[in-house]
Structure 1
Amino acid sequence: MEDELYDVVVVGAGFAGLTAARELSRQGLSVRIVEARDRIGGRTWTDHRLGRDLEIGGTWVHWTQPYVWAELKRYGLDTTPSPEPERAYWWAGGSRHEGGPDELMELIGGTNAAFVQDARKYFPVPFSPMSRDDFKAIDHVSVQDRIREQFPAGAPRDILESFWALNFNGPLNNAALTQALRWVALTNGDWAVNFEACATYKIVGGTAALAAAMCGDSGAGVEYGFTVRHISDDGGAVSVHSTDGRTVSARTAVVTVPLHALRAVDFDPPLPRAKNEGISLGQVSRGTKVWIRLRGCRAPFVALGGADWPLNFFQAEYGIDGDTIVVGFGPDASKIDVEDAAAVQHQLARLVPDVDVVAVASHNWAADPLSGETWPMHATGFLSRYLPALQEAHGGVLFAGSDIANGWGGFIDGAIESGMESARQAAAVLVGRRRTHDVTAVQASLR
């Protein structure tokens, strides 16, 4: 059992946790990070697969994302773009189509511009999404319902639904319209810039390079293999207990566990009802990401399938030893075994001719008990009913993560933003607890 009482224990070494640990350590506070995995990075993971380093989890960054862009500049890290597509393939109106990438972008934009036209109306200050109440009037509306209400059946609607199934990495029947509009509001209502932010610029050296820089800058120790079972707060200290019997105690804690994984953690005192309901509702994202090595060198391409396909988006990313590496996404991980190269080839071949899949690489984030989801995307009602509650402190326990970010939720940027906010809150809680401790000590000395 750990005897030392830290100022802060940070649960989770993803970008939210690393940010909180660094910010608090810089204030001269003692910080300990506990991490269930054997690595830092959380739902980002740079791993060597298919003959080169690949991002198994979160990947892309953009200069419209102020928090992550500032961190890249802080640590002298650069970005590199994905290759410009030369060919596009898409499924619409029950058949396959082929053309230039500009043609596909125009088809998406023909409906998407109208679909997101109210983004700044409902979210005029995107990093303060709850600053006005207007959005509450539409927070019950799903992306699917709004698309089908706004556009008639046909090829344009098919393309739009698939585009947003890609963005949510999940089904659209309970995907919040407010989440879609929040995303686009962050790029001043320009959906094309938003799409560029989602899938164009990667960190040189991978997300691992940024995570390592932030972790090293914090100076906080990391205890690996620490899966949290129970968190208790007696009013003076928070104790974090692992499933294998370890305990780390601190005056306050920052918990950055994803919502779906948070269901396995017991709290004492119990969490308020609104927090529990928000955790139970969770996120829409339950999809998949897969890397595919194709035989032969192919010109860069982009491909968009049907919204209900097991894999509905593909993008060529790298050339390697005469082969091509492609990344693919699908909205429901339960619909395909992406470790099955034949199954992946079947989906890709529906759009792209003459493909020969040599090997595949993936990680099932939806089935992973430490995540239970891919990038977090809100369900209907989440923003108005549960986000404020999930952002609130619970005694000496603070919460952070991309799941509950105000701005770029679902991105590294949102995780960093939330981590910074939780660090500010934790520092304030520490001041209050120290004052209480000092008063109690004085009273005891006078007895």
Structure 2
Amino acid sequence: MSEIFDTDVIVIGAGLAGVTAARELGTRGVDTIVLEARDRLGGRLFTEKRLGKYLELGGNWMHWTQPHVWAEVTRYGLEADRLARAEETFWFANGEVCKGDLPGFMQLIDPGMEALVGNAGKLLPRPDLVADSEDFKEADQLTLQQALDALELSDDERQANEAAWVGHCNGPLDQVGYSAALRWTAATSGAWKVMHEASSVYRLKEGNDQLVKSIAGDIKGEIRLNTPVTKIEHDAEGVSVTVEGGETLRARKAILTAPLNILHELDIAPELSEVKREASQTGTASQGVKLWMRVKGPIKPFFAYSTKDHPLSVVRTEFVGEEDAVLVSFGADASRIDVTSIEDAQKALSVWRDDIEILELAAHDWNEDQYAKETWLINRPLAYSQSQAELQRPEGNLHLASGDIANLWAGFFDGAIESGLRVAREVSEQL
């Protein structure tokens, strides 16, 4: 007598990886139920109206060099656009604030960037695959700070390069793996300026949540919001998933899309492999902050870099009006600034601009979010080499998918979609 299942596949999490996997399985005739703990779709993609604008409290940018996400933009006829162009740029050199334009700053950091990541395409010629070269593994042993310190840069060049990378990595550079910088740049074939643009310029004009809503709209199965999973049990025949309230659902397979930092906290039996658990317990290096500010206008759109030692390392203008403007900022360590305190934010902003008045703030604390406990994926040294392949390996009928374990653009929308596509194909082929 064959076992009775509630569905073919249970997808745990309705972020981009989860909804992509569920949509793809549906097109292959596989029945799914998507379980999402939050009251919304998207996971770390989080668009919400704050400060009079639709702000991206989570993931922000995308680009046509990111193939998986751009295919979805094209598929659904979504409109991507850039926001305010910086008319002036501020940065630190020898302890003093310099003022110029963005091309001037890019020229300043170019020698350091080329020396640091110019060989990324050679070290990682196929960033869409799990790297196994000895040269890349050797580079993966270094922190990004160690790699920067090994370069012969002047103080002003070093400070400027550090500030740029803190903005990218959202974590302390002495905890960030050098491989993180190499992987991102390898995704643009070693062209660091393209990588810089791909990671910081274009977003969906009507809000990035249009992407996850469009994909979810094509899911043939059921999506249950406000449904936290409390236990996952898997065996040779299938997977049982218990949700808050006590209901247990049974499926032939399950796809778990939780962020890396919370995997080890989940009640899973049999437990995940030792490598997976250790990778989760060690955690990612991404522990920074993203803070939105509405400021009194009018102002010229600007871009500003401080140093890795400041609470906010990068600030840029995103929206400009006649009477106000909205800035987005990033810092490497969320504990160094209170994102609810205008006084703290004003002090942090004043290192460049003491002529701007902050009116309101908006942020989401991803480090304290129980369903994330991290911002975007940035590996520590050796984490990629030691765990990437294992994190992609299924545990019997339990499969993992997440932007955290993607190959090409890990930590981006593109990586989440890549991972969802890959796992959906693997699951459907096994079924």
Calculate the TM-score normalised by the size of structure 1. 0.93
Maintained 8 Å contact 1:123/1:129 = no
Using the alignment, how far apart are the partners of 2:85 and 2:96 within structure 1? 25
TM-superposition CA deviations, 1:295-348 (whole Å, max 9, x none): 012111000011121111001011245201110111111111111111111111
Maintained 8 Å contact 1:116/1:189 = yes
Superposition pairs for residues 3-402 of structure 1, below 5 Å? 5-130=6-131, 132-152=133-153, 154-320=155-321, 322-402=323-403
Using the alignment, how far apart are the partners of 2:130 and 2:423 within structure 1? 18
Using the alignment, how far apart are the partners of 1:397 and 1:309 within structure 2? 43
1:428 is matched with which residue? 429
Using the alignment, how far apart are the partners of 1:360 and 1:105 within structure 2? 29
Maintained 8 Å contact 1:229/1:264 = no
Larger CA deviation: 115-124 vs 259-268: 259-268
Give the RMSD, CA atoms, in angstroms: 1.4
Using the alignment, how far apart are the partners of 2:354 and 2:114 within structure 1? 30
Maintained 8 Å contact 2:241/2:248 = yes
Following superposition, the deviation at residue 227 of structure 1 comes to 2.0
- Counterpart secondary structure, 1:263: helix
Following superposition, the deviation at residue 244 of structure 1 comes to 3.6
The amino acid of 1:75's aligned partner reads Y
Using the alignment, how far apart are the partners of 1:5 and 1:429 within structure 2? 18
Following superposition, the deviation at residue 152 of structure 1 comes to 4.5
Maintained 8 Å contact 1:20/1:420 = yes
TM-superposition CA deviations, 1:364-421 (whole Å, max 9, x none): 0011111000011111111110111111000000001111001000100000000001
- Counterpart secondary structure, 1:370: coil
TM-superposition CA deviations, 1:229-255 (whole Å, max 9, x none): 221012112011234423222110111
Maintained 8 Å contact 2:49/2:55 = yes
Using the alignment, how far apart are the partners of 1:353 and 1:220 within structure 2? 53
Calculate the TM-score normalised by the size of structure 2. 0.97
Following superposition, the deviation at residue 176 of structure 1 comes to 1.1
Following superposition, the deviation at residue 132 of structure 1 comes to 3.4
Using the alignment, how far apart are the partners of 2:163 and 2:386 within structure 1? 28
TM-superposition CA deviations, 1:107-163 (whole Å, max 9, x none): 121311211121011101121141534311221111000111113461111111111
- The answer on 1:411 being equivalent to 2:407 is no
Identity, % of aligned pairs? 38
TM-superposition CA deviations, 1:203-251 (whole Å, max 9, x none): 1221111111100111221112222222101211201123442322211
TM-superposition CA deviations, 1:150-195 (whole Å, max 9, x none): 1346111111111111111001112111121110011111111111
Maintained 8 Å contact 1:292/1:360 = yes
Larger CA deviation: 285-294 vs 110-119: 110-119
The amino acid of 1:40's aligned partner reads L
Following superposition, the deviation at residue 276 of structure 1 comes to 1.1
TM-superposition CA deviations, 1:279-308 (whole Å, max 9, x none): 112211011111100101211100001112
Using the alignment, how far apart are the partners of 1:174 and 1:286 within structure 2? 10
Larger CA deviation: 276-285 vs 48-57: 276-285
Using the alignment, how far apart are the partners of 2:132 and 2:307 within structure 1? 36
The amino acid of 1:298's aligned partner reads I
Q: Which runs of 5+ in 1 are unaligned?
A: 431-447
The amino acid of 2:264's aligned partner reads R
1:436 is matched with which residue? none
What is the count of residue pairs matched by the alignment? 428
The amino acid of 1:371's aligned partner reads A
Maintained 8 Å contact 2:130/2:388 = no
Using the alignment, how far apart are the partners of 2:16 and 2:364 within structure 1? 19
Using the alignment, how far apart are the partners of 1:245 and 1:109 within structure 2? 57
Maintained 8 Å contact 1:278/1:387 = no
The amino acid of 1:165's aligned partner reads V
Using the alignment, how far apart are the partners of 2:245 and 2:382 within structure 1? 37
Following superposition, the deviation at residue 277 of structure 1 comes to 1.2
Using the alignment, how far apart are the partners of 1:246 and 1:352 within structure 2? 55
Change (3 A) 1:95 1:226: same
TM-superposition CA deviations, 1:76-123 (whole Å, max 9, x none): 011111222110011232221111221111112131121112101110
Using the alignment, how far apart are the partners of 2:79 and 2:133 within structure 1? 36
Maintained 8 Å contact 1:396/1:429 = no
The amino acid of 2:198's aligned partner reads A
Using the alignment, how far apart are the partners of 2:80 and 2:140 within structure 1? 35
- Counterpart secondary structure, 1:90: strand
